[in-house]
Amino acid sequence: MLRNLKQSFVSLLFVSISLGSFASLSVGSQAPNFILSDQNNISHDLSDYKGSWVILYFYPKDDTPGCTTQACDFRDAVERIIASRSTVFGVSLDSVESHKRFAEKNNLQFSLLSDQGGSVSKAYDSLNNFISFKSSKRNTFIIDPEGKIAKIYLSVKPSTHSQMVLNDLNQLQN
């Protein structure tokens, strides 16, 4: 009985941590600003992209199967994303150096932003923080030219996500 009670408590705690934080961001709200460095150690300030569409996708870890699939899916769609007058950024808690290796290995032609402290992931309600393990959740945000959140995707499927984003981006822009 005690074991079942512990399991129930841990499950409830995990669900609370996973789902409880999404109340603060919604479609139409101002996107939290950030300044983060990419794999080439170039600093990106979201406010510099005002007037443009931004796709901000969070992912758990460089060079893992699902994250590689998702990054390559965006890589294969990057020309269509650029053609839609948009910029795509991947964000995880990995270091600039880790991002550099990951980008080179997979020929990624877009910026991977290093959020080592997790502050940006937290601001976007996309931080998994379970005991001592932290990672970004697999969430994506489309940010409109005024800097407002136009679309939110939670717990996305890595292999088909970019096409869904492109379809929605096309509808939002028209």
CATH of residue 116? 3.40.30.10
Query: What range does the domain containing 40 cover?
Result: 2-173
Task: Give pTM, 2 decimals.
Answer: 0.84
pLDDT of 135-166, one tens digit each?
999 999 999 999 999 999 998 888 888 889 99
Active site residue 67: yes
Residue 114 burial (10 A CB sphere; 0-12, 13-18, 19+): buried
Out of 25, 56, 67, 91, pick the active-site residue. 67
Secondary structure string (H, E, C) spanning 103-153: HHHHCCCCEEEECCCCHHHHHCCCEEEECCEEEECCCEEEECCCCEEEEEE
Could you give the 3-state DSSP secondary structure of residue 90? strand
Mean pLDDT for the chain?
Answer: 86
Q: How many domains does the chain have?
A: 1
The 10s digit of each residue's pLDDT in 61-97 is 999 998 999 999 999 998 999 888 999 999 999 999 9
Q: How far apart are CA 142 and CA 103, in angstroms?
A: 22
Residues 6+ apart with CB under 8 A from 37: 43, 44, 96, 113, 114
